[in-house]
Structure 1
Amino acid sequence: MVQKQINFKPLFDASKIQQRITELGAQIARDYNGEPLVCIGVLKGAVIFMADLVRAINLPLSMEFIGVSSYVGTASTGHVRLTHDLTRDITGKHVLLIEDVIDSGVTIDYLLGLLKLRNPKSLKVATFLSKPEAHQMHHHLDYVGFEISREFVIGYGLDLDQYYRNLPYLAQVTD
């Protein structure tokens, strides 16, 4: 597959992103007050955000990953399917679910419902991006990097057909 050429305009540069992640990490560390934390990254989009965020959290923590799929190209299918499950038990643990972007919230509702069945001590959500205008979810977002409108964005972990995740900044697709 050849990378599709697209037009885009930068929204947040790498410096602004790192500054916000440092703030989020400090807030999370304060909120958990020394308690160990299991950070669960949602594959694949949250990997870059998660890598930077966990380094900014001054707590004992472990990392896990869960995979879901709900997008084809730039559109959500509205159907969530599990593609990779956790490899360890989270019963009785403080869990932080880390997402790249919360759009409608269908995926986060699905994941929180699934993880609650596994009886964590606590379950919170950190997301790099939130699109409040599109939210149809039933759950609260505990930590939000940036709020944006409904535009489709790429970079810093977010993709278009699996490309552009490696951009060090966030950009809006303009075509």
Structure 2
Amino acid sequence: MDTIRLRDKEFSLFITEQEIREAITKMATRIKADIKESNPLFVSVLNGAFMFTAELMRELDGPYELTFARYSSYKGTSTSGEVKEIVPLQTDIRGRMVILLEDIIDTGLTMEFVMKKLLDEGAAEVRVATMLFKPEALKALLKPDYVGFEIPTDFIVGHGLDYDEMGRSYKDIYKLNE
């Protein structure tokens, strides 16, 4: 589909499923080379990262431990600026390398909050893998370790990303028509 409609907004095709798969395969290759024989804990940040996480873990194809956490700072199409922990991490991270799996980083404030929290709780190291990164929107002192795509500041949906909880199930990524 070239365009989709969610509630009161129209979106146009931005990144295809095939482009997403290729980026995830490249990212998995880099991660495997970097972590070698270590035993990192992968933490998928819900809800948006569920599709990215499933595809990345399939590409990593190893004995890695995976868990989930949920944080939120969004209402509608913009960030509230306040990070809320909705589903806390349930796994002991002391002394471990943690790789956070995120769908998108824009301001970076949520990831900065989560990284600091995990380091304060005893993680030996925290890395970030994100499918999408908006460097122009960044407000935090943060540089993701692994990035699928650097994109402009457009609002996007699909492939796990939503607009008021709608649109996550699309296999492609769409950007808001202004």
TM-score (normalised: structure 2): 0.93
Aligned residue type for 2:52: F
Partner residue of 1:17? 20
Q: Give the drift of 1:124.
A: 0.3
Pick the aligned partner of 2:94 from 84, 91, 96.
Answer: 91
Query: 5 Å matches for 1:1-175?
Result: 4-175=7-178
Partner residue of 2:3? none
Query: What's the CA shift string for 1:38-87, capped at 9, x where partnerless?
Result: 11011100111011111111442111111111111001111111101011
Larger deviation, residues 150-159 vs 132-141 = 132-141
Question: Is the 1:106–1:136 contact (alpha carbons within 8 Å) kept by the matching residues of 2?
Answer: yes
Q: Give the drift of 1:111.
A: 0.5
Q: Percent identity?
A: 34
Provide the rounded CA distance (Å) in 2 between the counterparts of 1:117 and 1:61: 23
Unmatched tracts of structure 1, length 5 or more: none
Q: Secondary structure at the match of 2:130?
A: strand
Provide the rounded CA distance (Å) in 1 between the counterparts of 2:51 and 2:123: 25
Q: Secondary structure at the match of 2:9?
A: coil
Q: Give the drift of 1:168.
A: 0.1
Provide the rounded CA distance (Å) in 1 between the counterparts of 2:165 and 2:52: 16
Aligned-pair RMSD on alpha carbons? 1.2
Aligned residue type for 1:162: E
Question: Is the 1:35–1:59 contact (alpha carbons within 8 Å) kept by the matching residues of 2?
Answer: no
Provide the rounded CA distance (Å) in 1 between the counterparts of 2:133 and 2:17: 18
Equivalenced residues, count: 173
Aligned residue type for 2:111: I
Question: Is the 1:37–1:59 contact (alpha carbons within 8 Å) kept by the matching residues of 2?
Answer: no
Question: Is the 1:125–1:142 contact (alpha carbons within 8 Å) kept by the matching residues of 2?
Answer: yes
Question: Is the 1:37–1:94 contact (alpha carbons within 8 Å) kept by the matching residues of 2?
Answer: yes
Provide the rounded CA distance (Å) in 1 between the counterparts of 2:8 and 2:109: 29
Unmatched tracts of structure 2, length 5 or more: 1-5
